[in-house]
Amino acid sequence: MTTTDDAKTQIDETVKSNDVVLYMKGSKAMPQCGFSSRVAGVLNYMGVDYKDVDVLADNDIRQGIKDYSDWPTIPQLYVKGEFVGGCDIITEMTLSGELDKLFEQNGVTYDKDAADKIREANG
């Protein structure tokens, strides 16, 4: 069990040492809620290499990430240390092409064709 300060330090280190981090319920292979599943599904489909952190495994991390971002819900996506958003924001950004731009600006590798297919399927 981590303390609140330990959780904040751990979150800060994780977010800053990985290009893309998804704080979620469950794992990228086995999401434990629909919202986490949707965001992980988008990242997986687009071939993004990201670190997944299961907030269900540690209550201090689960609360700590909400305090860290000042955002009340899980999942939370971080790119290059910056909080991007939760499920609704990531869904909107994927459909608008903003997520592609964010990845390009930050040198994050992703499958552009897969991103286009998501937009075609939801257009």
Binding site, annotated residues for [2Fe-2S] cluster: 33
Sign of CA dihedral 13, 5, 22, 102: negative
- How many other C-beta atoms are found inside a 10 Å radius of the C-beta of residue 58? 17
Q: Which amino acids are annotated as binding site, given as ranges?
A: 33
Report how far residue 15's alpha carbon sits from residue 20's, in angstroms, rounded to the nearest whole number: 8
Contact between 48 and 103 under an 8 Å Cβ cutoff? The reply is: yes
